Every structure is written in structure tokens, then in C-alpha cells.
Amino acid sequence: MNRNQVRPQRRHATPSRIERVRRQAVPKPRVIIALLLLLGLVSVMLLDGYLRAEVGNDQRVRSDASASKVPDSVLDGGPFLSFQGGTARTRSVPDKTIVLTFDDGPDPEWTQKVLDILDDNDVPGTFFLVGSMISRYPDVVRRMVDDGNEVGVHTFTHVDLSYQSAARVTREIAQTQLALAGAAGITTTLFRAPYSSTNDAIDNYSWPVYKKLGAMGYTSVFIDTDSEDWQQPGVSKIIKWATPKSGKGASVLFHDAGGNRAQTLEALPQYIKKMKSKGYTFTTVSGAQQQAQGQQGQGQQAQGQQAQGQQTQAPQGTPGTADNTLQSNPEQAAHRTADTATLWEGRALLGAVAVAEWTVPGLAAVLAVVGVAVLGRFAMMLVLARRHYRRRNRRRFSWGPSVTEPVSVIVPAYNEKECIANTLNSLAASTHPIEIVVVDDGSTDGTAEIAESLGLPNVRVIRQPNAGKPAALNNGVRHARYDIVVMMDGDTVFEPDTVQRLVQPFGDPEVGAVAGNAKVGNRTTMIGAWQHIEYVMGFNLDRRMYDLLRCMPTIPGAIGAFRRDAVLGVGGMSEDTLAEDTDITIALHRAGWRVVYAEHARAWTEAPASLGQLWRQRYRWSYGTMQALWKHRKSVTDRGPSGRFGRVGMPLVVLFQIVTPVFAPLIDVFTVYAMIFVDFKASLLAWLAVLLVQLVCAGYAFRLDRERYRYLLMLPLQQIAYRQLMYLVLIHSCVTAATGGRLRWQKLKRTGEVGTPAPGTGVR
């Protein structure tokens, strides 16, 4: 019998097939909660990646395109481009006037300092803002507008719009307007495209974009003087390059974000004082346009043009244009008050961004800790496993007097007709004297009859009504004739010397139980090979570590040996949890017994052959382990061996079997996130480095167990597919535990394909 046990229900309590189908069709609340949390996390991560403008295309696609379709009046015109009646029109900055423009903000550090400088010198600026940055730092934008500065759109992700679809262009603008509405309650009619400084940057690819934006009511703002502060050429050069010639007006470009702006901050106040001393005044784009408009005509015509400029229609399709009145400050004439719907949509966007800004870095920090813990665990396992191997395999090592007296082997069985013959035949070949106690737990498939029909010596079959595996084991212990009892599953086979090797540690009177080396017998399939790797690396390498630390958490149900008195002394196998093997192991620690690992005592078990069976098995294992840990939680404050387990073993189990596996899927999710949004090559190399560490650990484990290395070829695929399944199983178990759900014993379908092992050759 295996660890999975089912108790037959009374006929009148059995639900009809239709009822079962209906129950399966309706998702359980905890499943819905888990799916919603997963969807929320993915959405937050996608939003965070989008905000950081690292989706690709964040560079100028080409810079040598033709401008044959762009009018010469635009290429040679002033820096302010607008469209009236479909006709392009440019304006220049009036003489002796400076328009300070800043790109790529807001930045919580540099932009704030730029605003301080502008305030100290009583000059305004026009800031072309990136929507993703607005969403992350709305307070800076709010201060910017309150201080009398003007703002414009610089796209949401700083993408080159020249080569994007019309939908992408509209989305970039609309999202930035939403962010601006949420941050400052306004929208704007000013626009500056990334990677376009002067008018001659317009080409045949970008010209349709400017025409579309002009039709929407936007004024596209260029420059005619570039400080080139982004190159960090030195303060003197920044000032020199930003100074217009011969008293002409200028639209000057600086940057308040996108890199180290220390030189900009040092040059800016000096530049302002220099230009003021030359008789220059400072204004915004709107202020310069109004001045230019006033100089173009006289009388009624000039007044009409000025009125037309002040009542320019807001961008078509732009959020928040219900109120098209100008702001009271003429320096902010491009601003529009956002309507109520746009205002709340913008605030919702900022709220979502705030959640992403807190969640993703927080999870990243947690995962960094988890990653360090996982790598630390690998290192600790390698060091302790090597020490364990050297200590147990040196010539002088001995557990004490050789154990030669007979032992009782208890085989609980429930509907094991496919396996029971192989199990008993393998025991009959044992080189150690044994009695075999088969406890038939109410089987309905003739398991007991098969066991009796084999006619093997020293085999007793005890029948009991179906009561579960713990009850069957306890019944076997009560009927055992010898002081040492070996427990195994009905789907497991032993090698001839397994029992002899398994019981030798009892030569030490402190040892109360011994864990054997469980092997996957049906490893020819992919899922079997994956479990084989897991057993060798994940279980047995762990047991070597726990053995040295004297805090073995689990004796596998497939192969374990106990002092009969020790089992009876802790009340036998408990039905309190679904992991009776973990429960009894911890109970023995608390009773003062030592639990050790006999790596040379091998048992071959039939692992689940389908993903559905594997899920059910591991789901129960995970849930049962949590139950056992909770049941024995008071060991944390105990003294002696119990306290040692509580303060050493229990934290290790919680950390490495529950906490880190729960968060481990996020490491893979973040790896994919980093590949898409950050650096594909670096992220892939990091993942491969972790895989290499795991491969080294697995290779060493295979060496210790003298296994064939060819199975390690499946390790990469195991990490991608199988490991994720195990993580989901654990998460499912955690959700079940948190919501108070209960599991029942489940009998897995067996095939009996694990045959009797030949001496020294493993399993056939």
C-alpha cells in the first residue's frame, strides 16, 4: 500500500455522477482567489515594465530618411509648428527672448532642483514630460504647474513615433494626457516628439505624425538652440552652446532627467544671469507665441489673430477637453482643465502605478532574499553531503555492534493487486532474517488472496476493515514479533540487502528510526525521469544534510525502520495529519530519539505515472507536511532533541520546503519580465547560471548515489515544466491551508511495472 489511502463512503452518502460533474464545473472560491491574485500580479508587472519604457523601440529607428514631402517653410521655419485649416504654420521666438525647454522629466531629484533654480531666478520653463514618469512622480508635476511653468507631452514611453502605427501614436498621447490629468488636473496642447530637436529632424516618416497631431490641435515644439547638456561637455560649453547669436530669440533645450544632470544644474543659474545681463527675458512657449502673434499684425487683424490664438481648440480626441478656457496665467495658455471623467481616470492610473511602484520592487527584494537563500541551501547541501559521505564511508565508521537479529517488515496494503506480488517476492530474497506482516486494509481487489497464494515463508496476512494507512501500520506494529520494525509501501520493492543495511544504525542505542534511500523504479518515461532527478537530488541530498544536523524531518513511507518501543512510546502512527511519516518522525525527535539516514539501503517505488496522479500525491504531501509542522509547533520552545528540531529542523523545512518554493515561481516570472523589459541577454545568462548551480548539485548527488548521468539531460526541461507544477501544487496546498480546506486520502492507480531488483543491478 502506498501513502495514499481512500476510505470508502457509505452508499447513501455517495454523490451521483451528475452532482460530481456539477461540483467540478464550479470553481472553488480558493481557486478563484488564487487566479485573481495571479492575474493581478501579472497585470502589475506588465504595468511596471511598460512604465519603465523598456519595451524596446526606445531609440531612433533611422536618422537618414528623406524629407522630400516636408514643406521648406517648415524645415526652415521657426520652432513652433501648428496647423490652421490644414496648412502648416511656424512661429519663431521674438528677439531678446528665451524659452527654456526641458525634456525627459519629471525626475524626483534633478527636476526638483531645476524648479528650485527657476524659482530663485524668477523665470518660467516649459517641460516636456514623459507620461510614465508623470505617473511615477505626480507630486513633481503638481509643483511644476503650481509654480507657473508650462508642460507639454513627450509621449508615454519615450518612443520614436515616426515608425509607429496610428493607434500607437494616439495611445502614447492619450495615456500621457491621462497621467497629466491625474497629477495636476490639466491637459495640454503642446507636444514634442522624442528624438526631434530642430525642424530639420522632420522627415517623410514623421511628417504624417505631425500633420495628424496638428489636426488634433497640438502645437509641436522644436528648438533652434541646443545646450547639448546630455553629453555632459562641461559647464562652460553648455552655457556657450545655449547662447543665441546676435540678440535673436531662441527655444533652448536642456534636460531635467534621463541621466546625471549635475552639469546642467551648475550651468543653468549662470546661463540665466548671463542672458538677463544681455537684456533677454524668459517666457514659456505660450508666452513666446503670444508675443510673436502680437508682432505680426496691427490693428483689428492683429487683435483677431491674438484672440484666435487664445481660443485655439483643444486637441481632438484628447482627454479632458470639456473646459477649453485658458488658464489665468498667460504663461500657461496651453493648459486645459481636465473634465471630471478624465480627472478620475487619471487618478485611477496613478493609483495603479503607485501599487506597481510598491509591489514590484518589494517583490524583487523578497525574491533577492529567496534567491540568496536557495543558493545558500545548495552550497550547504553540497558541503554537508560531502562531509556526510566521507564520515559514513570511512573504514573505521561503525554504528556499534552489528544488528543481526530478525526484524518485522510491515506491508500495509489497500487494493495493491498489481504490486503486492513483486513487493513480497523482493522481501523473500532478503539476506537479513525477517518476518513479513501484510496488513490488508479492507482491499476489494483480492490483494490478501494474492499475498497468501504466493506461499512465501514467514508471511502473515492480517485483515482489517478499511481504516486508513496509519491504522494499518499501527495494527502491524502490534502484531510484530521483533523489536525492530521496517515499514514500506505496497508498491515498493527492496533489494536483497536493503533490510540488512537499513537496520545497522540501530547498533547505536540513541537511534530510534532510520530513513532509507527511496528510488524511482519507473523512470523510463519523461515524468518518471523528472521524479527520479527530484528523488536523487531533492530528497536524498537533503537527507544527508538533515542527518548531519540531527533534524531529519521525514522518514519516507516507502522505506523506513523504527524501534518498536519508540513507535509505541509516541502513540503510534497518528491520523491527525495526511503525512503520517513526517508526523511520526517529528514525534520521535520530540521524544528524544535520533533519526538517521542509511543511504545504501535502497527501495524502488512506483512513482505516479501521470500529471494528475502526481498533482494529487504532492498536494497531499505538501498539505500533510504543513499539518505536521503546525501540530509540533511547540517544539520551537522545547529543550533537548525536541528543541533542536524545533529551532533548526523546523525553520529549515519551513524555509526550504514552503516559503522559498512558494516564491520560487515568481523568480521565473521575474526572469521573463527582465528578459522582456530589461536586458534579455543578462537575464538569460543569470537564469543559466542558476541552472548550472543546480546541475552541479544534481551531478554530485548522482555521483553519491552512483546513478547514471544521462538522466541529467532532462534537468533543463524539468526546471521549466516540472518544477513549476510542483510550485503550483505547493501554492494550492497553502491556499487550502489558509482557507481551512481539508483533504481526503486518495488512492493512486498503480501498474506494477517496478519489478523485483536483481542483486547489485538495481531495478529491472
**Calpha distance 733→662 (Å, rounded):** 10
Q: How far is CA 126 from CA 78, 188, 282, in A?
A: 17, 11, 11
Per the residue annotation, which of 48, 103, 104, 224 is the catalytic one?
103
- Whether 551 contacts 645, CB under 8 Å: yes
- Whether 176 contacts 321, CB under 8 Å: no
Residue 55 is classified by DSSP as: S
- Whether 673 contacts 54, CB under 8 Å: no
**Calpha distance 380→435 (Å, rounded):** 40
What are the backbone angles phi and psi of residue 364, rounded to the nearest 5°?
-60, -40
Residue 255 a catalytic site member:
yes
User: Which residues are paired to 559 by β-bridges?
Assistant: 488
**Calpha distance 479→409 (Å, rounded):** 11
- Whether 336 contacts 314, CB under 8 Å: yes
Nearest-5° angle of CA 181, CA 184, CA 187? 45
**Crossing angle of the two packed helices 299-310 and 285-296, in degrees rounded to 10:** 160
Per the residue annotation, which of 154, 158, 255, 732 is the catalytic one?
255
Residue 59 is classified by DSSP as: S
User: Which residues are paired to 605 by β-bridges?
Assistant: 492, 520
Ramachandran class of 45: left when φ > 0, alpha when ψ lies in -120 to 50, beta otherwise: alpha
- Whether 191 contacts 218, CB under 8 Å: yes
Give every CB contact of residue 136 below 8 A, 6+ residues apart in sequence: 51, 353, 357
Encoded amino acid at 338, one letter: A
- Whether 442 contacts 464, CB under 8 Å: yes
**Calpha distance 187→149 (Å, rounded):** 14
Residue 328 is classified by DSSP as: S
Residue 103 a catalytic site member:
yes
Which three three-digit cell numbers place residue 106?
A: 519629471
**Which residues form the catalytic set?**
103, 255
